[in-house]
Structure 1
Amino acid sequence: MAKVSRPPPAVALVLVLVGLVAAVADAAPGPRGLTRYTRVFAFGNSLTDTGNAAIFPATAGGPFTRPPYGQTYFGQPSGRASDGRLIIDFLADELRVPQPTPYLAGRTAADFLNGTNFAVGGATALDPAFLVTKGIMSFVPISLSNQTSWFQNVLRLLNSSSVYEQRKVMASSVFYVGEIGLNDYFFALNSNSVDVAVSLVPHVIGAIRSALTAMIAAGARTVVVTGMLPIGCEPQQLALFPGGPGDYDPATGCIARFNEIAERHNLALRVMLGELRLAHPGRSLSYADIYRAVTRAVASPTLYGFGGMPLAACCGGGGGPYNFNFTTFCSAPGSAACADPSKSISWDGIHFTEAANRFLTRAMLKGLL
């Protein structure tokens, strides 16, 4: 395995990342008396999943478990939907905490003591039964409410002794809610219309709010919530929904009406987080923006170290400006290898390259300064 490249220690930057202005009393003291976090609890979909989809029966043996996934960093598939590391990997590295154990890979309290990743590739924010009422079929029967239930299971394992011990664990933990809701909107767009996808926004935000409320009730004090990425910049969507000249943002080439869904989502998410901050003073609830970082990189790729085709999938096939076709999806027979993922934003037309994930992590840090 390649050696992890660690940035210089930056305790103050870590505190900024999680939105803290003072140490949490119950957390373990770190350098200079500042709060030191000991673990991460992560939630989300394939943009955050580090191995659950590779174990879950409905997705085991899927694309992420086959080469060339993992080629850049791990040298082999690691269950991550990328050529290498994800935002959660870079975040854990920045926080100086262990990589959280995929929930489905653990069994005992010892397995989860250093953190847990509940994210599952293909997961939705909304329960599959609700999506069916909207005429939407999901492919992975895992939603954010399932991940919240898994968190409660881990909590019972870790904190069977006393309420005080539970408070200590929660106070010294960072809760990272990766982007969630993208699959809900994807499925709506693929089977219905933009209007149906837009109608899901308040429900998706409500599902995220319910999950955050459960975390706060359990004692979570530091929560980072990632916003929606620009849906209309995804090579998959661009290839599946060709339009006329007026359908594209002239600055980015992305589908404008799809990006408007993401903008609605992000506005509603920020409003909801503001309401929770007022209801729960003393808790740090930070919004992590990746939307603007992606659109900036797509509009000016060379400025940020990427190549001249920012809307094309690196791995897979299909040719054209987006290089995406489901029949030649990355790792499928007949798919083309990716010669230099470091110059691409999209790895397979849906997920980011390691280079893009590193870029997005840095953008998140700067955006929370």
Structure 2
Amino acid sequence: MMEKQKLLFFSFSCFFLLPLLSGVQGGSSSSSTSSSSQHNTTHRGLYGFHPTKLFVFGDSYADTGNNRKSIADSWKVPYGITFPGKPTGRFSDGRVLTDYLARFLGLKSPIPYRWRKFAANRLRNGMNFAYGGTGVFDTLVLDPNMTTQIDFLEKLVNNDSVYTKWDLQSSLGLVTLSGNDYGAFLAKGGSTQDLPSFISAVVDQLAENLKRIQDIGVRKVAVTAMQPLGCLPRSTVLNSFQECNATENTAVTFHNLLLQQAASKLNINSKDSSAFVILDLYGSFISVLKTKGDFLGSVKFETPLKPCCMGTSSGHYCGSLDEKGAKMYAVCNNPEAAFFWDMVHPTQAGWRAVYLALKSALQKIN
């Protein structure tokens, strides 16, 4: 998701979804209830499966530098001020989900696809095909959607011989889908009445993409449940960052319910009954926001719904400048005490908290 796109708020009524959601509020299984955390695992925690490569597909929640410098806010100051001290194309002040998952696997963060020819020595860690602002369908940006991202991997395997089938058999795929399809749907005039069928279409396409990644040869695929869109600062700004928008989160829960059903079906039809794993971003975000990160010990997010970096006036955003080059944004004193970086994306500290909440789910990848 890209803040600069100014995607429309999900200000729609989803009362028609409630009968479908009776008793289902988490979307995917909670990361906090797994018994797998009782096992003694290595730092990779994969019960015998030790991926040597990570292949990443999706949007700005996973992008580590694929977007073009000329248009992406992620290449502008103050992005990257915490890590590595300058903008690197990550939509955060520092590390993002990809970096933490790679660390969990004992790998270096995979090279962004568009930089592959400049760092051949890093190909051994896998590759990141994610582009901020994209979705399973075409959105409001010109960057490659998920189908095209998967095309890139297929070409590297079949035509360019950069990776072998053996490489893929010892690899893990990470897939993120953070809501750009829905923002684009509404921005292009889609109606709230048609939203349920569009959500079904999005999840159906996502399921096809997951199956295709497996068919190319990637052994296991972790896909994120959608985060609570109603808790993003671009929504909570309407009530001074005090509470989440329950209506938006109801729609997200429907998406996550369909995703869990799709993943279960893929696993039933797969030779490996745990080939597809859902990483519950919804539950993890909610857990961290509710506890204000208290379970981390030294870190506490005092105002978790308020972003660290935001525009100083209407129409401006984190990283925006006026015609004279003067800053039209303000950054909080301590990004490590903020969960959200800008109006859409977590800080490095926020992603670390989410990663810690996801650990038990990660250990299910076996």
Per the normalisation by structure 1, the TM-score is: 0.77
1:71 aligns with 2:62: no
Match of 2:146 in 1: 144
- Preserved contact between residue 288 and residue 354 of structure 2 (Cα < 8 Å): no
323, 331, 338: which one aligns with 2:332: 338
Contact in 2 for aligned 1:175/1:223 (Cα 8 Å): yes
Q: Is the CA contact (8 Å cut-off) linking 1:123 and 1:142 kept in structure 2? A: yes
1:45 alignment counterpart: 59
1:122-163 deviation line (CA, Å, top 9, x unaligned): 1112135xxxxxxxxx23342111111111122225647xxx
Give the Cα separation in 2 of the matches to 1:99 and 1:366: 21
2:309 aligns with: 315
Q: Where does 1:149-164 land on structure 2 (aligned, <5 Å)?
A: 149-156=151-158, 159=161
Structure 2 equivalent of residue 257 of structure 1: 247
CA spacing shift, 1:308–1:327, aligned 2, 3 Å: same
Residue in structure 2 matched with residue 5 of structure 1 by the alignment: none
Are 1:48 and 1:86, in contact at CA under 8 Å, matched by a contact in 2?
A: yes
Map of 1:328 onto structure 2: 317
2: CA distance, partners of 1:299 / 1:148 = 36
Q: 284, 303, 312: which one pairs with 1:293?
A: 284
| Identity within the alignment, % | 28
Q: 1:92 aligns with which of 99, 102, 107?
A: 102
Take 1:193 and 1:338, find their aligned partners in 2: how far apart are those partners? 37
Instruction: State the distance in 2 between where 1:217 and 1:170 align.
Output: 10
Deviates more, 1:293-302 or 1:262-271: 293-302
Counterpart of 2:114 in structure 1 is 104
Q: CA RMSD in A?
A: 2.6
Deviates more, 1:281-290 or 1:69-78: 281-290
The DSSP-based 3-state class of the residue aligned with 1:79 is coil
The one of 166, 171, 174 equivalent to 2:172 is 174
Look up the equivalent residue of 2:68 and give its one-letter code.
A
The one-character-per-residue Cα deviations of 1:313-338 (angstroms, maximum 9, x if unpaired) are: 1101358xxxxx54233344310123
CA distance in 2, matches of 1:187, 1:295: 25
What is the match of residue 17 of structure 2? Answer: none
Task: Provide the rounded CA distance (Å) in 2 between the counterparts of 1:88 and 1:315.
Answer: 22
1:118 is matched with which residue: 117, 121, 129? 129
Structure 1 counterpart of 2:35: none
1:183 equivalent to 2:180? Answer yes
Determine the structure 1 residue equivalent to 2:294: 303
Pair 139,310 (structure 1): closer, same or farther in 2 beyond 3 Å? same
* Counterparts of 2:312 and 2:360, CA distance in 1: 36
Over 3 Å counting, the alpha-carbon distance change for 1:326 and 1:49 in structure 2 is farther
Q: 3-state DSSP class of the match of 1:40?
A: strand
Question: Structure 1 residues 159, 11: CA separation in 2 closer, same or farther (over 3 Å shift)?
Answer: farther
8 Å contact kept, 2:288–2:353: no
Question: 8 Å contact 1:188–1:196 — kept in the other structure?
Answer: no
State the alpha-carbon separation in 2 of the partners of residues 316 and 96 from structure 1: 34
Distance 1:112 1:147, change over 3 A: same
Q: 1:268 is aligned with what amino acid?
A: L
3-state DSSP class of the match of 2:294?
helix
Between the aligned partners of 1:346 and 1:199, the Cα distance in structure 2 is: 31
Q: 8 Å contact 1:41–1:100 — kept in the other structure?
A: yes
Inter-partner Cα distance in structure 2 for 1:194 and 1:326: 26
Matched AA of 2:100: F
The separation in 1 between residues aligned to 2:197 and 2:285, in whole angstroms, is 24
Residues 326 and 227 (structure 1), Cα distance of their counterparts in 2 relative to 1, 3 Å cut: farther
Q: 1:298 to 1:327 in 2, by over 3 A?
A: same
CA distance 1:306–1:185, change in 2 (3 Å): farther
The answer to which structure, 1 or 2, has the higher relative contact order (CA under 8 A, 6+ apart) is 2
Tell me which of 21, 36, 44 is aligned to 1:14: 44
Partners in 2 of 1:306 and 1:199 — Cα distance? 40
The TM-score, its normalising length taken from structure 2, stands at: 0.78
Q: Is the 8 A contact 2:61 2:178 kept in 1?
A: no
**What amino acid maps onto 2:153 in structure 1?**
F
In structure 2, list runs of 5 or more residues that go unmatched.
1-39, 322-326
